């Protein structure tokens, strides 16, 4: 997908620096108000200091300031004195002419010789004070005219004279409207670097602010890749680049330039040369030890390094001290060494000679085998397998990988287990006697690899493994194994839309009769019933019932849990709500009592889904959160965890907590669910962004609606896509087609009558489409045959009835629909019903009811940031001659309760990281909340947000 494409060298957008940008802008505002300041911006090479300064410079120029920039030169401590100031003043001379120096050109010739070619030699130390005063008064004159921003880049290369002049300017600044921004590389500041005490001293000066640029997180990495690459980057590529670049923007850009579809690439030569520059400057003995350390991984314990290297302690410590001083290695307080950058380790490792590479990896493997405590607890099997494989010792690599895979499975590390078993399968073809070495058949390894891939959520790999395993299995001799493989293949066919899986499930059911073990037969029937019910509910129900009866007769608690889950899923709608919920809660309790954490997670998937269906949205969200914790704990976050995240997002959408829903959908996307499972995040994210009218909604819709072309897609996915398509068509999004076309296709879908939960929203969306009598008749016919059991279904049914009602009866019909939505509790659906109520009331001449409905709906739309609905209400208000303030922008409920909590902390000056710590949320979530608050309050930064909030009284509740 990414082969042979042109990739831009650097990103065009500034990513992950919102807090730092805001701090710079705030500093400029203070300077404009007469409060001079200094910002010292530090960060490692490639972290984005220059990019941030460029962005700030554009902002400052647009803000009508004098902008001067100076660059320190890499000439050493005794290099060209005052070089950055000379550069800045030369730029000033070019723009303003010699007159800016107020007749003192000869004095300034010390810095700019071109002002007086025959002038004096550079000033001696005795005249430094006069020179410093000249520069200070020049900047003061400039700042009196317009605010001055002076940017000094690469301060780590500054000579002593430059540092002294900077210190003078910072300390002597009083009231001039000036801001100085200086950048430096923190990874250049070794212990004896002269800038270290300089910065420490400035820290105590009033008006000096430190900004330390941190590495980007995975989301920031993904955003840079998305900006640079011609197609959306797959999660595997994002993970690979994030693990290797560790959030350094320059490294991310360099790796993006060589990215391939397999999410991996060799280091570009230019980047390799940069990374090895410091290593090449080390003494030979230190370089040799560094190469040995690189073989051990990003982090290596001191004792392990000592054992493998065979270097005496004093010599080893001296070598590592040189690497630490060169900023290549960070010493760990626990007694180990870690490469400052993973890519540095990679470059050093890749620079090994072939024989050296194999020999050192073999020495690591032997050392860890002899003393497993040389590595972190639990890591020995995986480390041994890695090193024997890297050493190309194939027999040892195969047996070690099998042992490590078993150990990984015991720790719920299914992704690691899957990778190890894939390695075993590769080695199997390279060895003459793999069965003798392992004690396993090839089919045994295939099967183990299949289940590990499923638990890890790697369904593409699982699909290939089921095909290979079914080609090897003896169906007559092993009916249970065959049936299990068929059941899994049928599920994978459903996932990838290749078929409905019914053929595989029925073949597996026929084989179940030959399974001798009743426990295994019951578990198999339970799984088959759950899978088949997605396509053939009656047949699936019969299998589920058979499994339940068999489990009951055996009296096995774990098996009863398993079959109860299937029964609850298949029979959910036919049982009374409380009975269905009670049965599922019992299954959760039984799993917990049995210590079956994975079973508990599976049960919580079903329970959270049913709670959402019956309208208990807050409880559904809580249960999904609990299940997600269980899934994460036992390593099934990519499989069952994806469904729990989707359930959580669905509940949050219903509750009107759209920011959180969007974040949870993004979390699901990062799990990279394949096939139809991608709809787990595409649907909720598209729903929110469409309702908000956000940029990018059309792209999401296009990706989601593509699945409507699949001939095999379960109803729970297919029908929400129809609803989404109709809403998108009504919103005028071209790719959704005409509204009438979208509604007609939805009503013609044969799965519609059997799924009331998902069919009612389809009918409600279709009822909004102007289509004449034929469309109305088809909606009436479908609605008449569709049962309504739960609150949302009743509300949708009332909404459909109201939409099809005309004349005087429309007003009471919409009042009934509004009442039904109040009972259900979904704010957005309530706001939509209120909008229609306002139209009906206006048509009936009831302006008071119309005004009240518009005001309430507008407040909800503002809280949700549902821009299209808010605009629709504004148009309606104008058409009815109502005041635009019918839904005031300063309503107390403009912000959600969570946003008010965040805003209170913003007003107290807390950073996103501190906000995240106090509210127990991620920094990314805090950043999203802050951005949303700024947008809602129509301000440009955090300071203005806090000021507006205080003026409008929005903090009173949050502050108690």
SS (H, E, C) 176-200: CCEEEEEEEEHHHCCCCCCHHHHHH
**pLDDT-based confidence at residue 587 (cuts at 50, 70, 90):** confident
563: CB partners within 8 A, 6+ apart: 522, 523, 525, 526, 544, 547, 548, 550, 551
Nearest to 47 by CA among 228, 245, 222: 245
pLDDT digits (tens, 9 = 90+) for 39-72: 999 999 889 898 899 999 988 888 788 899 998 8
Model pLDDT for residues 147-156, shown as the tens digit of each residue: 999 999 999 9
Asked whether the CA dihedral 363, 367, 369, 375 is positive or negative, the reply is negative
* Average pLDDT of the chain, as a whole number: 87
Which conformational region is residue 329 in: left (phi greater than 0), alpha (psi within -120 to 50 degrees), or beta? beta
Looking at residue 598, what is its pLDDT? Answer: 85
Report yes or no: 172 and 207 within 8 Å, Cβ to Cβ. Answer: no
Average pLDDT of span 237-248:
88
Burial string for 734-759 (b: 16+ CB within 10 Å, else e) reads eebbebbebbbebbebebbeebbbbb
162 pLDDT higher than 50 = yes
Measured CA to CA, the distance from residue 257 to residue 2 in angstroms comes to 10
pLDDT at 211 over 60: yes
Q: What is the rounded distance in angstroms from the CA atom of residue 84 to the CA atom of residue 183?
A: 12
The whole-number average pLDDT for the span 218-241 is: 85
- 527-546 mean pLDDT: 84
681 near 666, Cβ under 8 Å?
Answer: yes
With CA atoms as reference, report the closest residue to 943 among 37, 32, 24. 24
Beta bridge partners of 42: 184, 212
Among 178-187, 282-291, 803-812, 885-894, where is mean pLDDT lowest? Answer: 885-894
CA distances to 768, 793, 834 from 799, rounded to whole Å, are: 10, 10, 11
Distance CA 125, CA 165 (A): 12
Cβ burial 404-442 (10 Å sphere, 16+ → b, else e) = bbebbbeebbbbbbbbbbbbbbebbeeeeebeebbebeb
Looking at 162-176, 288-302, 563-577, which range is the least confident one? 563-577
Q: How far apart are CA 26 and CA 32, in angstroms?
A: 10
Farthest CA pair distance, the chain? 108
pLDDT score recorded for residue 564: 67
Q: State the average pLDDT over residues 917-945.
A: 74
Query: What pLDDT does 565 receive?
Result: 64
> What does each C-alpha distance from 626 to 563, 607, 621, 622, 629 come to in angstroms?
21, 11, 9, 6, 5
Confidence of residue 714 (pLDDT cuts 50, 70, 90): confident
Q: Which two tokens stand for residue 324?
A: 């630490």
Whether 120 shows a pLDDT value over 70: the answer reads no
Q: Tens of pLDDT along 315-363?
A: 999 999 999 988 899 988 778 899 989 999 999 999 999 999 999 999 9
pLDDT at 76 over 70: no
* The pair of three-digit structure tokens given for residue 832, joined into one six-digit string: 């939509």
Count of CB atoms situated within 10 Å of the CB of 6: 6
Flag whether pLDDT at 686 surpasses 90.
yes
Predicted local confidence at residue 956, as pLDDT: 52
Q: What is the mean pLDDT of residues 420-428?
A: 96
Residue 449's Cβ-count burial label (10 Å; 0-12, 13-18, 19+) is buried
pLDDT at 884 (0 to 100) = 45
Q: What is the mean pLDDT of residues 736-756?
A: 93
**Which residues are CB-contacts of 581 (< 8 A; sequence separation ≥ 6)?**
607, 610, 611, 614
Q: What is the mean pLDDT of residues 284-293?
A: 95
Q: Are 332 and 338 in contact (CB under 8 A)?
A: yes
Tell me, what DSSP letter sits at residue 639?
Answer: T
Give DSSP secondary structure letters for 871-907. Answer: HHHHHHHHHTT--GGGS-TT-GGGS-HHHHHHHHHHH
pLDDT in tens, 804-854: 999 999 999 999 999 999 999 999 999 999 999 999 999 999 999 999 999
pLDDT band at 792; cut points 50, 70, 90: very high
Q: Helix and strand tally (H, E) in the chain?
A: 47, 8
Mean pLDDT of all residues in 713-737: 93
Q: Which of 614, 612, 567 is nearest to 586 (CA)?
A: 567
Q: What is the pLDDT of residue 117?
A: 60
Question: pLDDT-based confidence at 4, cuts 50/70/90?
Answer: very low
Neighbour order of strands in the sheet with 336-339: 299-301, 336-339, 329-332
Q: What's residue 960's pLDDT?
A: 38
The CA-CA-CA angle for residues 78, 81, 84, to 5°, reads 120
- Angle, CA 719 vertex, CA 716 and CA 720 arms, to 5°: 85
Would you say how long the chain is, in residues? 960
Report the pLDDT value the prediction gives residue 230, as an integer from 0 to 100. 80
Per DSSP, 36 falls in state -
Residue 79 has pLDDT above 60, yes or no: no
308 φ/ψ sector (left φ>0, alpha ψ -120 to 50, else beta): alpha
Percent of residues, the chain, with pLDDT higher than 90: 50
Band (938; pLDDT cuts 50, 70, 90): low
Handedness of CA 709, 711, 712, 713 (dihedral sign): positive
Q: What is the pLDDT of residue 406?
A: 95
pLDDT reported for residue 717: 92
In which band, very low, low, confident or very high, does the pLDDT at 482 lie, cut at 50, 70 and 90?
very high
Whether the full predicted model's pTM is greater than 0.85, yes or no, is: no
Positive or negative, the CA dihedral 872, 874, 880, 885 is positive
Per-residue model confidence (pLDDT) at position 412: 87
Instruction: Tell me whether strands 208-212 and 148-153 are parallel, antiparallel or unpaired.
Output: unpaired
Task: State pLDDT tens for residues 402-422.
Answer: 999 999 999 888 989 999 999
pLDDT, average across residues 446-462: 93
Confidence of residue 682 (pLDDT cuts 50, 70, 90): very high
Q: Looking at per-residue confidence, does 494 or 579 come out higher?
A: 494
Pick from 534, 471, 469, 475: nearest CA to 499: 534
Q: In the predicted model, is pLDDT for residue 958 greater than 60?
A: no
As a three-state string, the secondary structure of 408-473 is: HHHCCCHHHHHHHHHHHHHHHCCCCCHHHHHCCCHHHHHHHHHHHHHHHCCHHHHHHHHHHHHHHC
435 pLDDT more than 70: yes
Summarize pLDDT for 878-901 with one digit per residue, the tens: 888 875 443 334 434 567 767 788
Euclidean distance between CA atoms 151 and 53, whole angstroms = 8
What does the pLDDT read at residue 24? Answer: 93
């Amino acid at each position: 997908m990414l082969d042979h494409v042109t990739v831009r060298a650097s990103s065009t957008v500034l990513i992950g620096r919102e807090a730092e940008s805001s701090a710079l802008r705030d500093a400029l505002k203070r300077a404009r108000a007469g409060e001079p300041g200094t910002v010292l911006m530090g960060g490692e090479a490639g972290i984005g200091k220059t990019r941030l300064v460029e962005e700030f410079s554009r902002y400052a120029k647009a803000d009508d300031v004098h902008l001067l920039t100076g660059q320190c030169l890499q000439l050493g401590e005794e290099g060209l004195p005052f070089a950055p100031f000379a550069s800045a003043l030369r730029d000033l001379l070019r723009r303003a002419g010699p007159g800016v120096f107020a007749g003192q050109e000869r004095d300034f010739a010390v810095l700019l010789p071109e002002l007086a070619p025959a002038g004096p030699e550079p000033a001696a130390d005795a005249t430094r004070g006069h020179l410093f005063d000249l520069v200070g008064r020049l900047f003061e004159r400039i700042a009196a005219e317009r605010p001055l921003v002076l940017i000094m880049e690469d301060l780590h290369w500054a000579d002593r004279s430059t540092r002294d002049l900077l210190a003078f300017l910072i300390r002597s600044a009083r009231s001039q409207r000036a801001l100085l921004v200086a950048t430096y590389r923190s990874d250049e500041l070794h212990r004896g670097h002269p800038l270290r005490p300089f910065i420490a001293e400035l820290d105590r000066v009033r008006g000096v602010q430190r900004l330390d640029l941190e590495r980007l997180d995975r989301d920031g990495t993904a955003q840079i890749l998305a900006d640079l690459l011609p197609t959306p980057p797959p999660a595997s590529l994002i993970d690979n680049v994030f693990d290797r670049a560790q959030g350094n923007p320059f490294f991310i850009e360099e790796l993006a330039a060589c990215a391939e579809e397999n999410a991996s690439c060799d280091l570009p030569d230019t980047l390799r040369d940069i990374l090895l520059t410091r290593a090449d400057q080390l003494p030979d003995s230190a370089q040799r030890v560094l190469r040995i350390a690189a073989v051990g991984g990003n982090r290596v314990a001191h004792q392990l390094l000592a054992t493998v290297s065979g270097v005496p302690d004093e010599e080893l410590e001296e070598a590592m001290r040189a690497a630490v001083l060169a900023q290549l290695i960070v010493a760990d307080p626990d007694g180990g060494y870690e490469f400052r950058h993973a890519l540095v380790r990679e470059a050093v490792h890749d620079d090994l000679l072939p024989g050296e590479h194999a020999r050192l990896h073999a020495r690591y493997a032997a050392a860890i085998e002899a003393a497993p405590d040389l590595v972190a607890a639990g890591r020995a099997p995986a480390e041994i397998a890695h090193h024997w494989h890297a050493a190309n010792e194939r027999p040892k690599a195969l047996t070690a990988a099998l042992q490590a895979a078993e150990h990984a499975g015991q720790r719920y590390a299914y992704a690691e287990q899957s990778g190890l078993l894939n390695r075993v399968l590769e080695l199997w073809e390279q060895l003459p006697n793999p069965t003798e070495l392992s004690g396993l058949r090839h089919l045994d390894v295939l099967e183990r690899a299949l289940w590990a891939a499923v638990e890890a959520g790697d369904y593409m790999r699982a699909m290939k493994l089921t095909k290979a395993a079914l080609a090897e299995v003896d169906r007559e001799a092993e009916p249970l194994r065959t049936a299990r493989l068929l059941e899994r293949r049928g599920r994978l066919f459903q996932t990838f839309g290749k078929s409905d899986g019914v053929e595989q499930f029925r073949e597996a059911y026929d084989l179940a009769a030959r399974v001798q073990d009743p426990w295994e037969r019951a578990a198999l029937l339970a799984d088959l019933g759950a899978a088949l019910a997605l396509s053939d509910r009656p047949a699936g129900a019969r299998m589920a019932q058979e499994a339940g009866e068999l489990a009951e007769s055996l009296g096995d608690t774990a098996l009863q849990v398993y079959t109860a889950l299937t029964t609850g899923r298949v029979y959910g709608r036919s049982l009374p709500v409380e009975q269905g919920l009670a049965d599922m809660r019992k299954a959760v309790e039984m799993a917990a009592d049995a210590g079956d954490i994975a079973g508990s997670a599976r049960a919580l998937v079903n329970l959270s889904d049913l709670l959402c269906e019956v309208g208990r949205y807050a409880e559904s969200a809580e249960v999904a959160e609990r299940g997600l914790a269980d899934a994460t704990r036992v390593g099934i976050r990519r499989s069952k965890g994806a469904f729990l995240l989707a359930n959580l997002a669905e509940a949050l959408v219903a509750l009107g907590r759209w920011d959180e829903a969007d974040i949870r959908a993004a979390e699901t996307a990062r799990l990279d669910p394949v096939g139809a499972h991608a709809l787990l995040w595409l649907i909720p994210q598209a729903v929110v962004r469409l309702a908000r009218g956000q940029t990018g909604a059309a792209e999401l819709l296009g990706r989601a609606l593509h699945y409507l072309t699949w001939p095999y897609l379960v109803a729970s996915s297919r029908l929400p896509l129809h609803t989404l398509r109709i809403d998108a068509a009504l919103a005028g999004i071209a790719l959704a087609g005409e509204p009438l076309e979208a509604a007609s296709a939805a009503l013609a879908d044969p799965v519609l009558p059997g799924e009331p939960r998902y069919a009612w929203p389809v009918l409600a969306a279709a009822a909004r489409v102007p289509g004449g009598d034929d469309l109305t008749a088809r909606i009436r016919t479908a609605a008449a045959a569709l049962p309504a059991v739960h609150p949302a279904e009743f509300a949708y049914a009332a909404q459909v009835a109201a939409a099809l009602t005309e004349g005087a009866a429309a007003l009471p019909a919409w009042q009934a629909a509004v009442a039904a939505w109040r009972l259900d509790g979904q704010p957005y659906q309530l706001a939509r019903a209120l909008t229609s109520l306002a139209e009906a009331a206006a048509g009936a001449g009831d302006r008071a009811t119309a005004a009240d409905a518009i005001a309430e709906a507008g407040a909800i739309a503002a809280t949700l940031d549902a821009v299209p609905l808010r605009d629709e209400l504004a148009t309606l208000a104008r058409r009815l001659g109502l005041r635009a303030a019918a839904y005031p922008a300063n309503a107390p409920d403009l912000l959600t309760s969570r946003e008010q909590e965040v805003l209170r902390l913003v007003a107290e000056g807390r950073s996103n990281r501190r906000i995240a710590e106090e509210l127990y949320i991620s920094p990314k979530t805090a950043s999203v909340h802050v951005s949303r608050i700024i947008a809602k309050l129509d301000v440009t930064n955090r300071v203005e947000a806090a000021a507006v909030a205080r003026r409008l009284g929005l903090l009173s509740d949050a502050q108690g």
